Amino acid sequence: MAFADTAVQSHVHYRGLRDWLDKVQGMGELLCVNGADWNVEMGSITQMLTEKSNGTAPAILFDEIPGYAKGFRTLYGHFSSIKRVALTLGLPLQHDRKVDIVQRYHQRMQNMKTLPPRFVKDGPVLQNVLEGDKVDVLKFPVPLHHEKDKARYIGTACCVMTQDPDSGWFNLGAYRSQVYDRNTVGCQITEGKHGRIHRDKNFERGKPMKVAIVCGQDPLLFMLASSPLPEISELDIAGGLRGEPIDVIKGPYTGFPIPADAEIVLEGETVPSQVRQEGPFGEWMGYYSDDTQPRPYVNVKTILYRNDPILCCAPQHKPVDETGLLKGVAGAAQIWSALEASGVPEILGVWNHEAGPATRFTVVQIRQRYPGHARQALHIAAACQGGAYAGKWTVVVDEDIDAGELDQVLWAMCTRFDPNVDIDLIQKAWASKRDPLFLPGNFNNRILIDACIPYDMKLKGTFPTVVDVSDDLRGKLRAKFPHIFPPM
């Protein structure tokens, strides 16, 4: 299934968060709300507008937050529509299947050359620089996102920048940041994540680690920071996707490459054996299932921010929340790449269902070519780097089932699947303690479902014919009754 060149080409649809907001407003997908409180109101309003929106919720820009100057804003719901995901990735906004966005993103990543950032002398992020006694992270309207959180979290839709002490590459990861006081914030990084590996390497050597927490930025950087990418800086990937380098300034405290148009950046350091109780926080599986325990924190040394700064937020709730599509698309593109890199042919679709969430319910759509093809796709999708973390269900379906349409997937599971032979299990896999059912040692078990027509029946043509309206008749009826079926 090849797209015309123009369809996979990336375009610079916008430059920076503020231009992105203008474009989103032009698309009719921006809601501006004045007067909501930082104390649970903003996160809850976003969830109420998103949970049943089926991919149509707006991005929400909150201003005039009580206790804060007008212009000190927050942004929620970046990616609760597939059009905004496409806008951010520079892909065509129109699509037939949701899965087309994943395919185009995956193809773009395959054809892309990374482009390192370009250092510039100045940028809007340096409009305000707070150091020493002036440092105060509560200068911004940091929300209490969920009713049962114990603290305000400044980092949710953030990019935590760390450097590998061996090779020097810079990672950006979306890792949550609790506020303790004006110059102390948390940083919860799960085992195996790149920022955690960087921190562990430093701490094993008894060394502190510098860190920059970018709390408002180009949505592309947030999307990449929350994607399971290989060990390549997200700044270089963003440059490659755009076809032009990301402008960065040298962070005054860290020396790190800080996006020149970032909204708010906290620079600081984290020190071995300095820990504070972190959590609880409403988490991505949709529960307060989190472990609250002592974790390393960040001593904030410098704050950089633009005039009228926008704090980007993405608290997670019971699905479907504002991060459902983001996590689904980001992980699916990586799984697609891994399947192709492993030589599995005829991949027609990969989708992580938003209610999963993340990679908890992954569907791979294939055109079966040989016995065992479906099982091969299942195991690779569940075990590759993009799909390995905290998965639960992986399902493979045939070419006539749209991987992104849950009703079709359920039909395949109900009519092409035999529980006796079409289930495999994976035990002791990479888990998350946010999973209410994580096992001792932080493992989990997974289920793989082969919902494809049994290959020998497909080959012999003995599987019954599907009851449907043929493409030919659909075309004729569309042409004959345009008032019933307006052109798409």
Ligand X SMILES: Cc1cc2nc3c(=O)[nH]c(=O)nc-3n(C[C@H](O)[C@H](O)[C@H](O)COP(=O)(O)O)c2cc1C
Residues that bind ligand X (CB under 6 A): 156-157, 171, 173-176, 188-190, 193-195, 226-228, 314, 316, 323, 326-327
CA atoms within 13 A on the CB side of 302: 19
Q: Which is nearer to ligand X, 46 or 316 (by Cβ)?
A: 316
Coil, helix or strand at residue 382: helix
Q: 39: which strand partners?
A: 144
Of 373, 307, 359, the residue nearest 328 (C-alpha): 359
Q: Which is nearer to ligand X, 226 or 365 (by Cβ)?
A: 226
Q: How far apart are CA 17 and CA 127, in angstroms?
A: 16
- Tokens 């009580």: give the residue: 66
φ/ψ of 300, rounded to 5, equals: -85, 125
Q: Which is nearer to ligand X, 175 or 256 (by Cβ)?
A: 175
| Rg value, the chain, Cα | 23
φ/ψ of 133, rounded to 5, equals: -65, -20
- What is the DSSP secondary-structure string of 118-145? EE-S--GGGGEEEEGGG--GGGS---B-
Q: Which is nearer to ligand X, 254 or 365 (by Cβ)?
A: 254
Coil, helix or strand at residue 426: strand
In the complex, the smallest distance separating the C-beta of residue 94 from ligand X, rounded to whole angstroms, is 25
Coil, helix or strand at residue 16: helix
In the complex, the smallest distance separating the C-beta of residue 239 from ligand X, rounded to whole angstroms, is 16
In the complex, the smallest distance separating the C-beta of residue 85 from ligand X, rounded to whole angstroms, is 12
| H-type alpha helices, 342-423 | 373-383, 385-388, 406-415
In the complex, the smallest distance separating the C-beta of residue 127 from ligand X, rounded to whole angstroms, is 27
In the complex, the smallest distance separating the C-beta of residue 324 from ligand X, rounded to whole angstroms, is 10
In the complex, the smallest distance separating the C-beta of residue 227 from ligand X, rounded to whole angstroms, is 5
Q: Which is nearer to ligand X, 258 or 326 (by Cβ)?
A: 326
Sheet holding 393-397, edge to edge: 347-352, 361-366, 393-397, 443-450, 423-430
Coil, helix or strand at residue 330: helix
Q: Which is nearer to ligand X, 43 or 309 (by Cβ)?
A: 43
Q: How far apart are CA 118 and CA 78, in angstroms?
A: 26
In the complex, the smallest distance separating the C-beta of residue 326 from ligand X, rounded to whole angstroms, is 6
In the complex, the smallest distance separating the C-beta of residue 228 from ligand X, rounded to whole angstroms, is 4
In the complex, the smallest distance separating the C-beta of residue 114 from ligand X, rounded to whole angstroms, is 15
Q: Which is nearer to ligand X, 162 or 302 (by Cβ)?
A: 162
Contacts of residue 47, defined as CB under 8 A and 6 or more positions apart, other chains included, come to 315, 317, 321, 322
Q: Which is nearer to ligand X, 193 or 416 (by Cβ)?
A: 193
Q: Which is nearer to ligand X, 199 or 416 (by Cβ)?
A: 199
Residues 40, 41, 47, 52, CA torsion sign: positive
Q: How many Cβ atoms are within 10 Å of 252's Cβ, its own excluded?
A: 16
Q: How far apart are CA 296 and CA 178, in angstroms?
A: 11
